[in-house]
């Protein structure tokens, strides 16, 4: 095994957002800022490698060593207020608008207060013209399909889906490595809107919605789509599991801690941090002295 393919753990990068929280406990005790944080990027280009031969370098700087840009952007979202109503283009739309790629994503619900909900898609009969009028008169929320959410729900957010997230949740988001977001409506907050581009990429019907979990051999498949596969694994104390890494991906700790082993090397798997397994690193094993839960996020080859 070459050093180029040794899995490594990343430090999260915290993104300040007006709708975020100042206290992210129990996930993080310190964010390095006193401003509200909305997103913890676990595999973002700015994330710094914490372990192994690449320690101290950003994920973005490893493109040559890893054979290209890491294909998945995995985040934790911490909304204390409503996120803007927004839409993302697909790959073809993004390229036509001068972007590198589109943004298809999914959300796995880790925390949900009573009554928590997200918006996924437009109501029947609503199109771009109705959206434009509703943005102007402040009635945009009434045009969307609001979906109640519970802990353990997985939601697919297809490109072209008009969507929003309400407060009272913590979400694990897995998406294409892209930050192309067209903000359609922001509840009167003084932030830039991208209405012209957003209206171009809206789809009235998409595949967005809740996804039923599928029991597999030793894990639970949460979602399987073109750009990502996300599985949950729950390992009992003292057990060791082999984790197949078909393609570039990462393991993200949810609860407890364990040790990720590969060849003669190992790295600790911690809650709310990602251990990246680049393309070609091969399968790994996870062992724990106490119970641990984590997700495997992989970009299909």
Q: Token pair 């407060």 is at which residue?
A: 167
Say how far apart CA 55 and CA 48 lie, in whole Å: 7
Q: Decide the pairing of beta strands 154-157 and 72-77.
A: unpaired
Give the number of other CB atoms < 10 A from CB of residue 288: 20
Cβ atoms within 10 Å, residue 120: 24
Neighbours of 13 (CB within 10 A): 20
Q: Return the SS3 of 76.
A: strand
287 is known as an active-site residue? no
Name which of 212, 286, 237, 218 is nearest 7 in CA terms: 286
Structure token pair of residue 64: 């040559």
Catalytic, out of 9, 17, 145, 183: 183
SS3 label, residue 288 = coil
Nearest to 245 by CA among 89, 34, 107, 72: 72
**Residue 92 main-chain phi, psi, to 5 deg:** -65, -45
Place of tokens 């994503």: 105
Q: Active-site residue numbers?
A: 183
């Amino acid at each position: 095994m070459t050093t180029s393919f040794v899995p490594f753990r990343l430090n999260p990068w915290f993104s300040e957002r007006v709708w975020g929280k100042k206290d992210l406990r129990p996930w993080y005790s310190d964010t390095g800022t006193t401003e509200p944080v909305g997103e913890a990027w676990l595999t973002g280009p700015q994330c710094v490698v914490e372990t192994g031969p690449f320690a101290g370098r950003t994920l973005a700087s490893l493109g040559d060593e890893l054979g290209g840009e890491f294909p998945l952007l995995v985040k934790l979202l911490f909304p204390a207020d409503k996120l803007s109503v927004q839409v993302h283009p697909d790959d073809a739309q993004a390229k036509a608008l001068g972007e590198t790629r589109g943004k298809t994503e999914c959300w796995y619900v880790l925390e949900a207060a009573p009554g928590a909900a997200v918006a996924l898609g437009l109501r029947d009969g609503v199109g771009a013209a109705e959206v434009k009028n509703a943005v102007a008169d402040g009635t945009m929320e009434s045009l969307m399909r609001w979906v109640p959410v519970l802990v353990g729900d997985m939601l697919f957010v297809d490109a072209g889906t008009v969507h929003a997230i309400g407060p009272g949740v913590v979400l694990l988001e897995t998406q294409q490595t892209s930050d192309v977001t067209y903000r359609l409506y922001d509840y009167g907050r003084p932030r830039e809107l991208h209405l012209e581009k957003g209206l171009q990429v809206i789809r009235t019907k998409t595949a967005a919605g809740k996804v039923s979990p599928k029991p597999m051999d030793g894990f639970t498949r949460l979602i399987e789509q073109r750009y990502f596969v996300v599985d949950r694994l729950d390992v009992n104390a003292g057990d060791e599991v082999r984790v197949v890494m078909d393609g570039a991906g990462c393991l993200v700790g949810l609860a407890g801690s364990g040790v990720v082993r590969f060849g003669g090397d190992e790295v600790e798997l911690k809650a709310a941090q990602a251990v990246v397994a680049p393309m070609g690193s091969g399968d790994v094993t996870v062992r724990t002295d106490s119970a641990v839960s984590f997700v495997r996020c992989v970009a299909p080859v």
